[in-house]
Chains A and B, each alone.
Chain A
C-alpha cells in the first residue's frame, strides 16, 4: 500500500526558506501514471494547491506562489521536495504531500499525514 510521509522543520523564521521532503513508500515515484503534489491548509481554513511534479522533473506551480516555490524530485531516494522562500506568517499551515492521477480530471490519493509549519521569529 502506497504511503507518503512529510518531513522537515516545524518552525521557520520570517523571510527564510521553508523546506519539506515527502518520502514515498510502497510504490515507485517513477511511475508514469502519477504526478506528485503539495497542498497546504492554514489553521482552521481550507485546502490550497501549491503545485506538482512528474518523475521526469516537469513541474506546475500555483501562480499565487510561483515566484517563491520550487518543487524537485529525487527518484533515487523515492522522494520529492518543496521549498518556499521568503516566508511570512501567512505561510503558516499544515503542508500535505499527495499523489495525483494523470487522468484528464485528476484527484489526489493518498495523502501524507501532513506536517505543521509555523512561521515565527
Chain B
C-alpha cells in the first residue's frame, strides 16, 4: 500500500515561513490535500489539489507537489497556526485508497 511520510514536528518563529513536507513514491503524479487540526478540534481542509485554497483559508497557506515530495508552506506564521497538519492522497492501487500521512506537529516558538 502507498505510504506518506511526514516529519513528526516542525518548529518556526512567528513571522517566519514554515514548510511541512509529505513524502511518497512519485507523489508528484497524485493530488495532495492538506488538513489542519488544532488541539481538541476536527481537521479542517486548508489545501486541495496540491495548491488550491478553500474559501476562508488565508493566502499565507500554499502548497506544491513535485517528484517524491509535496510541501505545505505557511508564510508569516502566527501563533494561531500551531496545530497538527496531515497530508492525504487517493491511491487507486491501494486498499484503502484514502491514505493519510502520519501528521506533523507545527510549533510556533
Chain A interface (Cβ < 8 Å from any Cβ of B): 46-49, 60, 62-63, 96, 104-114
Contact = CB atoms under 8 A, between A and B. Distances in A.
A11 B101 CA distance: 28
Nearest to B101: A46
A106 B43 CA distance: 15
A63 B31 CA distance: 23
Q: Do most interface residues of chain A lie in helix, strand or loop, or is the interface mixed? A: loop
Contacts of A104: 31, 90
B43 A111 contact: yes
Given A109-B45, A111-B42, 14 more contacts: A46-B100, A46-B102, A47-B43, A49-B98, A63-B95, A96-B42, A96-B43, A104-B31, A105-B30, A105-B89, A106-B98, A108-B43, A110-B44, A111-B44
Most chain A CB neighbours (cut-off 10 Å) among B41, B42, B90, B95: B42
Contacts of A109: 44-45, 48, 54
Contacts, number: 52
Contacts of B100: 46-49
Which of A60, A109, A112, A114 has most B Cβ within 10 Å? Answer: A109
Contacts of B107: none
A105 B31 contact: yes
A96 B42 CA distance: 8
B45 A107 contact: yes
B45 A108 contact: yes
Nearest to A94: B42
